[in-house]
Amino acid sequence: MHKNTKEQGLFDLYQNNPHEADYLLFGRETHPDRRGFLKKAGLAMMGAMVGAAIPFHRNIPAHFIPVALASEDMIQGKDGLTVLNDRPLNAETPPHLLDDAITPTERHFIRNNGIPPENTDAVGWELTIDGLVDTPMTLSIADLKQRFEVVKRALTLECGGNGRAFFNPPADGSQWTYGAVACSEWTGVRLSDVLKASGVKDNVVYTAHVGADTHVSGEEGQLPLSRGVPIEKAMDEHNLIAFAQNGKAIHPMNGAPLRLIIPGWSGSCSQKWLTRIWLRDRVHDGPKMTGMDYRVPNRMIAPGEKVDEKDFEIIHAMKVKSLITNPATGHKMAGRTLEVRGHAWAGDRKVDSVRVSIDFGATWLDTKLDAPVNAYAWQNWRAKVAFPKAGYYEIWARATDSQGVSQPHAIVWNPKGYLNNSMHRVAVIVS
């Protein structure tokens, strides 16, 4: 995204919703008099952001953004993310910043469909379980911790539209490249344990998830997104109702204080700012569950081909995929050997192998592939690669899952730009 676009987006955000802008930048809603906020906590932070003390800080009007901040993607508690949109806020992580085996919170991507709630205090937050259950329940976060076993798991989340930027013809939506994926460690209780405690009726077909975020239109009662999963997937023991991320409170933009984690499936199933799960006797029809949202054609189609809505099917498991996190694309090296490394994941399956090529796919080299630290965590891989002489090279990575399915060379096109799992490539210059 060009600098001018980022500046205009941030200024537009302050013009349209100054309370939200202050929340995104400073992690809390400001008082109408900004000076009260700066006097208490924000002055040092704002000074650090602009790189110097602010002598006339008392004169800064409420909801007025220093121009120095408008040239950067400033989201408190995040580091190095590239902002794609600011209303709703969406930001991805460059691949070389995803090199950690477990994704730090500050490097976890942000995918919003609406405007996050201003109050994300865990105290007083409640989750309702209702619908087709024997015993409807309303639980606080303290209730969840006391009544159910608390578990920690490293779980991979990926936006269904990750890679959309590479579709041709272009697909509408946020133009994610590679960085709408992460594998943080989440702490919570098993979704299945909570559902069992409520007494799931025999005729339940689907769950329906509701969050506390609001629609970008501002229309009262209109939800930005409410998706669900088949009850069979919901009862998988690896799904979590999470209240901690990497051992601390969940980042506000990642769903604090409570969210679902439905690993292996499109990240849209993992409702953020979770307030309700209700059980239904039909496929859920909430916002972003109908039409072509999070759906792909039920057959192979030509790029640009028009497809009737009745021929679309809901996305379930994500596809096998790999990511090169070292080196960054464009890396220039003086030597002839390099450790290439990254991650791989495969929806509901495991990754069986990852291979790399430096000769445009003519030959392939095996990598050392680690087992996942637990089910649904991505798998880390690495290989020592020797380059025969100076020049321009591309490193290609291709993963194969436990059923023998490999990443394709080219994008499998669909109208909404979902499930792009084509091979990741990075450029290297050997001098």
Q: What is the pLDDT of residues 405-416, one digit of tens each?
A: 999 999 999 999
d(CA 142, CA 81): 32
Q: What is the mean pLDDT of residues 225-234?
A: 98
* Nearest residue to 269 (alpha-carbon basis) of 281, 258, 260, 282: 260
Mean pLDDT of 306-330: 97
Note the pLDDT of residue 316.
97
Q: Which residues contact 128 (CB under 8 A, 6 or more apart)?
A: 136, 137, 138, 139, 275, 276, 277, 278
Convert 266-283 to b/e letters by CB count within 10 Å (16 or more is b).
bbbbbbbbbbbbbbbeee
More confident of the two residues 414 and 50: 414
The pLDDT of residue 22 is above 80: no
Query: What is the value of pTM for the model shown?
Result: 0.85
Mean pLDDT of 6-29: 52
Instruction: Look at 10-24, 136-150, 151-165 and tell me which has the smallest mean pLDDT.
Output: 10-24
The mean pLDDT value for 30-55 works out to 52
pLDDT for 4: 36
pLDDT band at 218 (very low <50, low <70, confident <90, very high): confident
Q: Which of 221, 239, 266 lies closest to 151, judged by CA? A: 239
Domains and CATH numbers, the chain: 3-74 (no CATH), 126-314 (3.90.420.10), 321-430 (2.60.40.650)
pLDDT of residue 87: 80
CA gap 125, 159 in Å, rounded = 26
Note whether 258 and 125 are within 8 A (CB): yes
pLDDT at 75: 80
The owner of tokens 């005729």 is: 203
Question: Is the predicted pLDDT of residue 255 greater than 70, yes or no?
Answer: yes
Facing residues of 281 across strands? Answer: none
Assess whether pLDDT exceeds 90 at residue 46. no
Q: In this structure, what token pair is assigned to residue 276?
A: 């309700």
In the prediction, which pLDDT does 91 show?
92
- Three-class DSSP category at 183: strand
**Amino acid in position 201:** K
Torsion angle of the four alpha carbons 315, 271, 234, 342, in this order, in degrees rounded to the nearest 10:
60
Task: Average the pLDDT over each of 40-44, 301-305, 309-313 and give the range with the smallest value.
Answer: 40-44
**Rounded mean pLDDT of 5-25?**
52
The answer to whether residues 70 and 83 touch, using CB atoms and an 8 Å cutoff, is no
Q: Kind of pairing, strands 295-297 and 312-314?
A: antiparallel
pLDDT averaged over every residue in the chain: 89
Triad 128, 131, 134: Cα angle to 5°: 90
pLDDT band at 400 (very low <50, low <70, confident <90, very high): very high
Distance CA 352, CA 405 (A): 9
**pLDDT for 66:** 59
Rounded Cα–Cα distance for residues 316 and 160 (Å): 10
CA-to-CA distance for 247 and 52, rounded, in angstroms?
32
